[in-house]
Amino acid sequence: MAISPFEERYRTEMNDVFDDQTKLNKWMAVEVALAKAHAQLGHIPKDAPGQIEAAMKKVKHERVVEIEAQIHHDLMAMVKALTEQAGDAGKYVHLGATSYDIEDTATALIFLDAIEVLEKKLDNFAAILKKMALKHKETVCVGRTHGQHAVPTTHGMKFALYYQELGRNKERLCEVKKRIAVGKMSGAVGSMATFGGDGPKIQKIVMKELGLEGAKVTNQVIQRDRHAEVMFILASIASLFEKIAKEIRNLQRTEILEISEAFSAKQVGSSTMPQKRNPHKSERVCSLARLVRANVMTALENNALEHERDLTNSANERAIFSESFIAVDYMALEITKIVDGLVFYPENIKRNLELTKGLILAERLMIHLVEKKGMGRQDAHEQVRSMAQDAFASGRHLKELVLERKLLDKKTADEIFDYSTYIGHAKNIVENAVG
């Protein structure tokens, strides 16, 4: 039975990247690369790396767990299990290395695999956002600031905004690869003392074999600012997903209902209220975003280890790395399906545009009075503000007061209060943003 919801409920292909057997394989791959470096430099027999590499395939996670139960050291348990299977070459396994030479280098490989998996999801979501932005670039709706009706905008503008932010997060994820694709083979305090005069050569050969860069300086570990940066980017992506999900939740409110999550024929909204159509998928996205953000704080605290390192990062990293990557991967899948399946309610969109009886076009009226009637900007603002307050208090349409006070003729007033023509360059902005 699963303890963590990430084992089953929120499982994605990302789980395979952080699977115990996968981690074990990455550890052993680093051990093989180290053996190859030693062989290349003449420290061990030329055929030893091949024997160690062949032994990798025989090592099972269950055996490593069995050894760990006896010695209470997971990395050394792997070393012993690999040694068992490597025959005479076993005596060269882990030669000169410390545990985190292996673990941190393997973590870099795992992070790169995880980023690759996530990038594909983000590309898929970008395509959906682009499609929705173009489809709704002229779907006029009311804009809201401070929770209040502001001026008209379009739903396409919303999706274009998300598309651009997603692009920036994709850039961040791509950029961070060069800082996380770093390993070490530098020993207990980073001095490479166990490798004698060949330390720098050993590290260079190992990293070239694995496709990584060697850290220029370390103590016992790769410094955790690198990992914290990845965690921040994951949180930034999660916050975008939450932003979108929160907008969907708000626009799905009964009183607003401009858009909603898709609702299947047999879907249940509430165990007691049969009528409910809850935006529970969007709420789930928002909930997981909180977890991912919280993990950033833990990752930052891991950077301040004592002296050449302590072990206070180790236990929590077993959770926060996999949790954050899996959570964001799951969120990416969910938000893509949510946005792609959104239901729009045109009659409600129109109703909300007209809800304040012309008040959302007060700005347009003010600008017209300045540009066409020669009023000072502040005078026009005050006059329109006063009329807007009167219209709000009386429940009358703002256009009625404008005509009553003979500020505009009817034709001009009708043009001014046509909300569908007050979206500025929204169409071009959307096209440029996603084009």
Active site residues: 146, 270
The size of the chain, in residues, is 435
Q: What is the DSSP letter of 165?
A: H
Asked if 221 contacts 100 with a C-beta cutoff of 8 angstroms, the reply is yes
Token pair for residue 375?
């009023």
Distance (Å, whole) CA 32 – CA 97: 12
Hey, what amino acid is at 283?
Answer: E
Is beta strand 182-183 parallel, antiparallel or unpaired with respect to 259-260?
Answer: unpaired
Token pair for residue 276?
């409910």
Distance (Å, whole) CA 257 – CA 249: 9
Distance (Å, whole) CA 123 – CA 112: 17
Beta bridge partners of 140: 154
Distance (Å, whole) CA 423 – CA 327: 37
Where does 328-410 show beta strands of DSSP type E?
343-344
Residue 214, number of CB atoms within 10 A of its CB? 20
CA-based torsion, 423, 428, 433, 435: positive or negative: positive
Helices (H), 223-303: 225-251, 280-301
CA atoms within a 13 Å half-sphere pointing along the CA-CB vector of 320: 26
Distance (Å, whole) CA 36 – CA 202: 9
For residue 102, give the nearest of 32, 13, 189 by alpha carbon: 32
Distance (Å, whole) CA 209 – CA 417: 68
| Dihedral of the alpha carbons of 6, 12, 14, 20, in degrees to the nearest 10 | 50
Distance (Å, whole) CA 388 – CA 26: 67
For residue 327, give the nearest of 296, 363, 354 by alpha carbon: 296
Hey, what amino acid is at 326?
Answer: I
